């Protein structure tokens, strides 16, 4: 069993130091890794990133993050990323990483993602250059997520998790005004997850949303925005099935047929 701790939208600033650290120090008892689902800062300044870095430095579990839109606001995402990486955080953008847990390989693929909306209610690559670029940017994020998840499968990961800031499904936006759904996520992210396969998709961004959702392909989705989970993090237990497990499931299905 793999124990995944996750939280997003912690929005740390100068007044935040120490707020989450006591809870994070309990991670060695309850989790194998900690995922940070973006919006770690308020404005994306290096100073705010240093608050986050100190909060998660030297934790007893690997810390893996994606950035969020707030972490881009000052237009210094490379500096924010560097500060976090110096503190040992793996920051993913169209990339993946593998964590070994008791001999099992746990893969995390991450991208910030972007908006655009959901099937039947989405923007499209049409019209003004800005509008086309809006959707193309989301598509590039989704393609990076898909390629990263596929890499993890090729590397024989027993468990794969998709980590984004923007939402892949509308389920976990319930509670947000319908009018802003296209700014909260995109079906392109879910399509990437379903095409490549994953055991869990984790995102943040939607503070007024709900925790639980699922992609069309049946991948569980969890909105871990701190205002949603109302805790320092949540812990999800996954039973990785890997390739052998997937083959066994397929064989079992064959026997039933």
Given the rule CB under 8 A, which residues bind another protein?
Answer: 3, 9-13, 15-16, 19-20, 22-23, 26, 30, 42-43, 70, 73, 177, 199-200, 207-208, 220, 222, 226-227, 229-239
The C-alpha atoms of residue 156 and residue 255 are separated, in whole angstroms, by 25
User: Which residue number, 125 or 212, has a Cβ lying nearer to another protein?
Assistant: 212
Check if the beta carbon of residue 108 is closer than 8 Å to that of residue 35: yes
Q: What are phi and psi of 255, to 5 degrees?
A: -65, -35
User: Which residue number, 73 or 140, has a Cβ lying nearer to another protein?
Assistant: 73
In the complex, what is the shortest distance from the CB of residue 206 to another protein, in angstroms, rounded to a whole number?
Answer: 9
User: Which residue number, 4 or 87, has a Cβ lying nearer to another protein?
Assistant: 4
Which residue intervals of the chain are DSSP H helices?
Answer: 21-24, 27-30, 46-56, 77-86, 129-154, 187-196, 226-229, 242-256
Strand-strand pairing, 234-238 and 2-7:
antiparallel
User: Which residue number, 230 or 255, has a Cβ lying nearer to another protein?
Assistant: 230
In the complex, what is the shortest distance from the CB of residue 71 to another protein, in angstroms, rounded to a whole number?
Answer: 11
In the complex, what is the shortest distance from the CB of residue 44 to another protein, in angstroms, rounded to a whole number?
Answer: 9
Task: Return the DSSP state at 198.
Answer: -
User: Which residue number, 58 or 128, has a Cβ lying nearer to another protein?
Assistant: 58
In the complex, what is the shortest distance from the CB of residue 212 to another protein, in angstroms, rounded to a whole number?
Answer: 9
Total residue count of the chain as it appears in this document: 257
């Amino acid at each position: 069993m793999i124990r995944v701790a996750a939280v997003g939208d912690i929005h740390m600033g100068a007044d935040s130091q120490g707020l989450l650290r006591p809870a994070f120090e309990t991670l060695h008892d309850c989790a194998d890794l900690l995922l940070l689902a973006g919006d770690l800062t308020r404005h994306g300044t290096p100073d705010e990133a240093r608050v986050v870095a100190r909060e998660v430095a030297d934790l007893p579990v690997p810390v893996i993050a994606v950035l969020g839109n707030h972490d881009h606001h000052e237009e210094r995402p490379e500096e924010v990323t560097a500060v976090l990486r110096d503190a040992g955080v793996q920051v993913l953008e169209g990339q993946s990483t593998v964590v070994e847990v008791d001999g099992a390989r746990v893969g995390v693929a991450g991208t910030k993602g972007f908006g655009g909306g959901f099937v039947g209610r989405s923007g499209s690559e049409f019209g003004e250059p800005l509008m086309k670029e809006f959707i193309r940017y989301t598509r590039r994020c989704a393609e990076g997520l898909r390629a990263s998840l596929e890499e993890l499968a090729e590397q024989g990961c027993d468990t794969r998790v998709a980590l984004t800031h923007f939402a892949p499904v509308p389920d976990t936006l319930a509670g947000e005004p319908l009018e802003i759904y296209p700014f909260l996520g995109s079906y392109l992210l879910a399509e990437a997850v379903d095409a490549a396969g994953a055991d869990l998709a984790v995102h943040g961004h939607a503070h007024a949303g709900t925790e639980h959702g699922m992609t069309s392909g049946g991948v569980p989705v969890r909105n871990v925005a701190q205002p949603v989970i109302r805790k320092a993090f949540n812990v999800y237990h996954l039973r990785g099935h890997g390739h052998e497990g997937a083959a066994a499931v397929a064989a079992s299905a064959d026997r039933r047929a």
